Structure 1
Amino acid sequence: MSGCSSRATCGSLGSSTEADVKISLKWLREYVDVDWTAEEFVERLTMAGLEQESVEDLGAALTGIVVGKVLEAEQHPDADRLSVCRVDAGEAEPRTIVCGAPNVDAGQTVPVVLPGSRLPDGTKIGKAKLRGVASEGMICSEIELGLGDDGSGIMVLPEEWTAGTPYATAAGLDDIVIDFEVTPNRPDCLSHVGIAREVAALAGVELRIPKTQLVTEGAAVEADAGVTIEDPDGCGRYVARVIRGVQVGPSPTWLQDRLRAVGQRPINNIVDVTNFVMLELGQPLHAFDLKRLDESRIVVRRSRVGESLRTLDGEVHHLQDDGLLVIADGSAAVAVAGVMGGADSEVTAQTGDVLLESAFFDARLIRQGARQLGMHTEASARFERGADWDMPDRASERAAALIAELAGGQVAPGVIDVWPGKSQRPTVRLRPARAASLLALPVDGASCRAILERLGCEVDDDNKDSLSVVVPSFRPDLEREIDLVEEVGRIHGYQHVAASEQIRGPLPGIAGGQYDAQRRLRQALTGLGLDEAITSSIIADSWAERAGPVGCRLANPPADGVSCMRNSLLPGLLDVARRNLRQRAPGVALFEVGRVFLAADGEGVDHIEDWRVAGVLSGQTSPSSWRATHRPADFLDLKGILEGLMTGVLDVAFDPTETPLLRRGHSARVLVEGAAVGTIGQVDAALADSFSLTRDTYIFELACDPLFGAWAARGTAYQPLPKFPPIERDLAIVLGDQVPSGRVADEIRSVAPDLVDDVRLFDVYSGDQVEAGKRSLAFSLCLRSPDRTLEDRDADGVVERVLQRLEKSFEARLR
């Protein structure tokens, strides 16, 4: 399949990580016989893992609209463009309705809105006089009923419809449509048959798969077409059939109704069949005008430099060399594989012969192609999640039979089925006793077998203790025993798990040391005014490569250029900061605790997982008020946060050093108990520009293991409240402007560690009052003895010793 078969399926689906499917209950009941109400469908399927997004009653918007028969249509006596019609609406007497449509005529069957009813857009219809003639209702166009885009004239309905029948009933729109959100691991549920299989398994009834009787005639298909797969990694299977002599035209009413019910716009009988089969079976299809394919052949290959392609949405795409997976004919690309068809080979009213494509494409390549071109279609949504490699031939046969039936064509005998490497269905063993133990449900071998067979598995009980389960091709998510256990649990119903007073496992609230340490760390940082962020573990390659050696790359990345598991928490935090500041937040103060993936040093190990804590500060530190104006965050704010984190628990120091990505002279190593655990500093200009950060931004990142180890080694010890009062002294000194204040504070503490209770920097000055190359630092010293009350002479002695030490160590002098 080259993508969506028409503009009807080329609309954006939003993010490719999301997919939903609209299910018509009337359509669904053709495949499974259950008497559930719409509410029961929603409840049972939600319990089985399919969450509903919305439920729509299609007929509700068409209440008061009935089928009418135009008995007479005469020229309005006072208006050239109006007709006065006598309409049988199934009542005792015909109604008089004035109509402005140019195509209204006697003998037509039309939709009639009765007085007092509303159109789907909310417009209320009542009795009125139009140019002096009373009108008792309205004859509608399809655009007025919300059923299409044609507003040029009234809708003409099938002649056999009975006057007075509610329009919704006659048109088959007395239907409930449920929109289900489908998780990425369940591509099999993106179709009516897929959902019907779930319903049949839950209800324990038979699934009715539509049967196909394909009649062929004429020359073999190989006489008209050929298929070559140049990229077997991108296309694992390609099935082609040819239908000759088709008559392209409108689809029958039943098919149009099916498509409209689930939000698809009918195009023509060929395109509508491909869309119908995709919505029925989940296999995207595409129909080419065979005469417009050069050399009447298909080549599946990568795009080439200089190629361009005009897709069905009218956009011209300039393709890259060896980039996208494309469908080509003998000379040029004619479709983007799995995403969208090309306009130059689409089916038109002049098409006579059709080549029908049904294929199995690589999910990763389709996802990359859709993202590269910015197109997410119904087709790509299915291929991106993993298609069923066994479905292309069955879907092609079903579509070919319908095209022959509805468009009068002749299906060429045979099928071109290029399948370079046939896939094998995996076999997984399931131990029923293990399933019963894990699920706490009374399931045995027989019940496990019955459930799995209803889900399409082949089960052999060749072993009394386990079942041999052959997984169906449409369930690529079933790989391990635990996957089968989950299937048994959700179909049996988790609501049937019996309540138990017995408690197994650890008691709530009791956690291991690592978890407890992380919880303490989060609580402490939150208490210091930071907000916790949780960012993606997958980051852009450019970010990871700047942060250091890349330890782990994904084999199947979510997007081009986003293939690295993070080797630092900082890229994610800086991106969050950027987005918050862009939304005019006055400032950000964020932290994250999480895993990083580092390059391994030893052989035989791909990468190392390490726990880190990181923080970012930028913008205002606090909101402005009448009491104080705001100020921007600076290095000392972040340094103070780390000091507050360690105060009373661990000894922390900051060693100035040059660090990549941080501004020179504004970065330091963080030392805990004398050991380096991380870095702190201001983001340099280049890094700030790469994240579009216009304000000064400060970061830290620490390794958790040595931090937690130091915490555990230090333990928690009781410290009694001080019994004796302190003496405070302020000390202002002048020294070189390159001497860190932290080193000065440490030196002050070392003079009399038993008496210096606290040292706080409260002022920094550099200006006319001090010499060039110097600055003034003012500290507040809190002096206290644990066993006596200090006197002034004690404090003076300590200050004198401090000044002597600072003069010796830093050539400092008292200011």
Structure 2
Amino acid sequence: MRISFDWLKTLIPTDKPAAEIGILLTGSGLEVEGLEELESIPGGLRGVVLGTVLSCERHPDADKLSLTTVAVGDDTPRQIVCGAPNVAAGQRVVVALEGATLYPSQGEPFKIKKSKIRGAASEGMICAEDEIGLGASHAGIMVLDTALPDGTPAADYFGLGSDTVIEIGLTPNRADAASHYGVARELRALLRQPCQLPDLSAFQAPASAEANVAVTIEDETACPRYAGLLLDNVQVGPSPEWLQRRLRSIGLSPINNVVDVTNFVLHELGQPLHAFDADQIAGQHIRVKRAGEGEKFTTLDGVERSLKATDLVIADAHGQPLALAGVFGGKTSGVSESTTRVFLESAYFQPAAVRKTSQVHGLKTDASFRFERGTDPNMVPTGLMRAALLLQEVAGARVAAPVVDVYPTPIEPATVRLRLPRVERLVGQHIAPERIHQILTDLGISIQEENPDLGDQDTWLLSVPAYKVDVAREADVIEEILRIYGYNNVVLRPHNSASYLATFPNPDPEVIRLKVASLLSGQGYSEIITNSVTNSVYFEKGEEKNPGLVRILNYNSAELNVMRPTLLHSGLETIRYNLNRRQRDLRLYEFGRTYARTEGGKYKEKTSLVLYLTGNASAETWQHKSEKAAFHDLAGAVQQVIAALNLGQPAVQPVQHQYLAGGLTLLVHNQPVAQLGAVSPSVLKQLDVSQPVWYAELDWDALVKKYKPTLVARELPKFPEVRRDLSLVVDRSVTFDQLQQIARRTEKKLLQSINVFDVYEGENLGAGKKSYSVSFTLQDFTQTLSEQAIDQVMQKLIAQFEKQAGALIRK
């Protein structure tokens, strides 16, 4: 959600900079994801000032050029060569000084430099309107009528200012902040400054009218409140510059003055509006009703849709739909250039009704976004009056009839009981009752009664306004208090943690997770957290549906419609995002849940740890060149994770993973715990990832269950270790893991470690053969090994390699 800081300051005055406001909002739960500086025109006319032409003479070497002297507010007038035919002494003009960069209406930006034109020095430029991006005229320089002194910034004269757009990542529970006024209400509590609604005192409607649009609500559950206002004398056309600038600042494109006003009010007050061409409402009667099953309706985007019986529609006297309630308008009833009478709709719709219609028809609009989460029923008439005043200003409209407001069963504020001791218990810190009272008042939550029951002391009965749709329980109120009080103000006390000498048979999974996360971070891996919701297209082919997917029934986006069955694709999206920004060397890991539906229709969740490795394994330096990341770089990290959990040496077998093009499966106690290898090229192509990616997927739930917390310490050995090497020629199908397993079964006492340091394949070995060069480390912790003992061990190993692996020992 984009919030214009200048717009926000019309609702709550503040002298604090936007960056500080962003910090305050983030601390209260409205996470500010970024601040963007916007300028009315590119460059903001920096280095462009007002000046006075002191003298003007014909250039001695050019008939069409003038040699001028211009005062620009300092002690040194500038000599400027000007080619405009209308330049003359005594004029007030716009001057671009040396060093200024201009952004013309047409063409590329250019910088003003001191130069010589036909032999005469020129120290700036007297500007036409197209040369500074203010218009299209190039007939001559701009001649101003102003008493402002020379040197005044041109941006001040033209009323051009910069704005800061605050990008807020609005969470679904904060529907109350889905507008500029909603954010202003939040700041009212954070800054302890009053915020005010726009002045509506000028609104007047006639007491009666010869003609008006009647309203009937046929489904009061889905539409508790519906208000409307008839306007005539409407002149549809472009919006004034100030209104267009407000909309552009939050990313909207101006359409016409009527539609722009409805969009403006929606983003200012959070109240969605819709404008009907009143002459297209048959019978001058609005009916709010359910649609007929299969009824055809063409929306504003020109798409004919088949309606469902569950869809709430705005219909005319004959029952013909004019709009999908709270979602989208109809093509035939929309405002056009010929419209002169407008019926403005302002309503409160039940969130579930709008959400279902939006979901069924795949329509996501700014209006449905707010109605789905819950709007303020008390803002309905306010939004209507605000829009009417604006249409009077920008479209010459006249209020033609009284406001129609159908509200059969008013929605009352929620009543919540708050126990002050409960506040201290959940917050973990005492907050003075006076401070709690102040916070609640600033949030618009009033105290109806203190200690309503004689036996229930320190209890308040609260009235929560309807726009706080997420505040319905005592815990919700306490969360509101804590947001404004400040999470950072809660002191962590020393006794909140303790040390224990005893070991526990069931260690804390979070402690294990932190241990592994620290290990991976120490190896240069960065932790990521991706969305648990993903796109079903990754797991389906055309019309072939995947029954194992956990589908979301009320998804907001077609690209986020299933719970992820694997972490791979969301991680590849992160890799793609980084690659597109030239960040090509990545080491990433993530702990996350995956979701699946079983054949019996039940659901299961699993926690996984995944690692991604792509690009170079090491950066290029003067000492060595960069090296591409390889499978063994990833395998080493996985082995260290398993070692950190004290699970011993895992067994390996070829991987069988639908998204990997080769690799290994690691087993602990004959149970698969990790799969690793190269991501399949088809998956990389599908995700538009442009370079190879190594991927490892660890069954975190299984690893935690197998975790061995006991650490065994022993003193350093007193007797030396011995290394012996063998070169084994085996069939190409024999893996090093098989050789390793044979060795460990053969010698369990003295054999400490095994390592392969060379693999060779060549014609001289014979077809289908390869050679492993393997080192064996032997050690006895009780005595020095004799040559006889060493030879006995090696002979046993050779015999078993020949017998079980068909190995030939190369001399």
In the superposition, the TM-score normalised over structure 2's length comes to 0.70
Alpha-carbon displacement from aligned partner over 1:666-687 (angstroms, at most 9, x marks no partner) = 4544222444323334444554
2-side partners of 1:549 and 1:209: how far apart?
53
Alpha-carbon displacement from aligned partner over 1:91-148 (angstroms, at most 9, x marks no partner) = xxxxxxx99899x9xxxxx99758989999599999xx9xxxxxx998986x788778
Report what 2:700 is aligned to.
Answer: 704
- From the superposition, tell whether residues 593 and 630 of structure 1 become closer, same or farther in structure 2 (CA, over 3 Å): same
Range 537-546 or range 621-630, more displaced: 621-630
Give the match's secondary structure for 1:804: helix
Percent of residue pairs identical: 29
Q: How many pairs are equivalent? A: 737
What does residue range 40-189 of structure 1 map to in structure 2 within 5 Å?
46=24, 49=28, 53=35, 179-185=165-171, 186-189=174-177
Residue type of the alignment partner of 2:465 = P
- From the superposition, tell whether residues 552 and 215 of structure 1 become closer, same or farther in structure 2 (CA, over 3 Å): same
Q: 1:214 aligns with which of 204, 216, 227?
A: 204
Give the match's secondary structure for 2:651: strand
Matched, 1:282 2:270: yes
Give the match's secondary structure for 1:351: coil
What does residue range 129-528 of structure 1 map to in structure 2 within 5 Å?
179-185=165-171, 186-189=174-177, 191=179, 193-198=181-186, 200-201=188-189, 202-203=191-192, 207=196, 210-211=199-200, 213-216=203-206, 217-222=208-213, 239-248=227-236, 270-271=258-259, 273-275=261-263, 277-278=265-266, 280-291=268-279, 345-348=334-337, 350-360=338-348, 386-400=374-388, 402-403=390-391, 409-413=397-401, 425-436=413-424, 438=426, 443=431, 448-461=436-449, 462-463=452-453, 464-491=457-484, 503-506=494-497, 513-527=508-522
2-side partners of 1:476 and 1:640: how far apart?
51
2-side partners of 1:623 and 1:293: how far apart?
69
2-side partners of 1:443 and 1:386: how far apart?
31
Report what 2:106 is aligned to.
Answer: none
Range 166-175 or range 484-493, more displaced: 166-175
2-side partners of 1:668 and 1:783: how far apart?
28
Report what 2:750 is aligned to.
Answer: 755
How far 1:518 moved relative to its partner?
Answer: 1.9
- From the superposition, tell whether residues 45 and 679 of structure 1 become closer, same or farther in structure 2 (CA, over 3 Å): closer
Matched, 1:781 2:776: yes
Q: 1:565 aligns with which of 552, 563, 566?
A: 563
2-side partners of 1:257 and 1:705: how far apart?
54
Q: 2:675 aligns with which of 669, 673, 679?
A: 679
Report what 1:21 is aligned to.
Answer: 4
Report what 1:593 is aligned to.
Answer: 591
Q: Which structure has more RCO (C-alpha within 8 Å, separation ≥ 6)?
A: 1
Is the CA contact (8 Å cut-off) linking 2:213 and 2:230 kept in structure 1?
no
Report what 1:656 is aligned to.
Answer: 653
1-side partners of 2:163 and 2:180: how far apart?
11
Residue type of the alignment partner of 1:221 = N
Residue type of the alignment partner of 1:245 = N
Alpha-carbon displacement from aligned partner over 1:778-802 (angstroms, at most 9, x marks no partner) = 3222222222222333322222211
Give the match's secondary structure for 2:749: coil
Is the CA contact (8 Å cut-off) linking 1:19 and 1:381 kept in structure 2?
no
Give the match's secondary structure for 2:775: strand
Q: 2:792 aligns with which of 797, 803, 806?
A: 797
Is the CA contact (8 Å cut-off) linking 1:271 and 1:347 kept in structure 2?
no
Report what 2:57 is aligned to.
Answer: none
How far 1:747 moved relative to its partner?
Answer: 0.7
Residue type of the alignment partner of 1:559 = S
Range 326-335 or range 646-655, more displaced: 326-335
- From the superposition, tell whether residues 310 and 569 of structure 1 become closer, same or farther in structure 2 (CA, over 3 Å): closer
1-side partners of 2:324 and 2:528: how far apart?
42
Unmatched runs of 5 consecutive residues or more in structure 1: 1-17, 69-77, 83-97, 105-109, 130-135, 312-316
- From the superposition, tell whether residues 182 and 431 of structure 1 become closer, same or farther in structure 2 (CA, over 3 Å): farther
Report what 1:107 is aligned to.
Answer: none
Q: CA RMSD in A?
A: 6.0
Residue type of the alignment partner of 2:753 = D
Is the CA contact (8 Å cut-off) linking 2:293 and 2:307 kept in structure 1?
yes
Is the CA contact (8 Å cut-off) linking 1:119 and 1:145 kept in structure 2?
no
Matched, 1:768 2:763: yes
How far 1:344 moved relative to its partner?
Answer: 8.9
How far 1:717 moved relative to its partner?
Answer: 1.0
How far 1:284 moved relative to its partner?
Answer: 3.6
Give the match's secondary structure for 1:678: strand
2-side partners of 1:137 and 1:685: how far apart?
58
Is the CA contact (8 Å cut-off) linking 1:231 and 1:302 kept in structure 2?
no
- From the superposition, tell whether residues 248 and 597 of structure 1 become closer, same or farther in structure 2 (CA, over 3 Å): closer
1-side partners of 2:284 and 2:92: how far apart?
45
2-side partners of 1:416 and 1:637: how far apart?
71
Report what 2:714 is aligned to.
Answer: 719
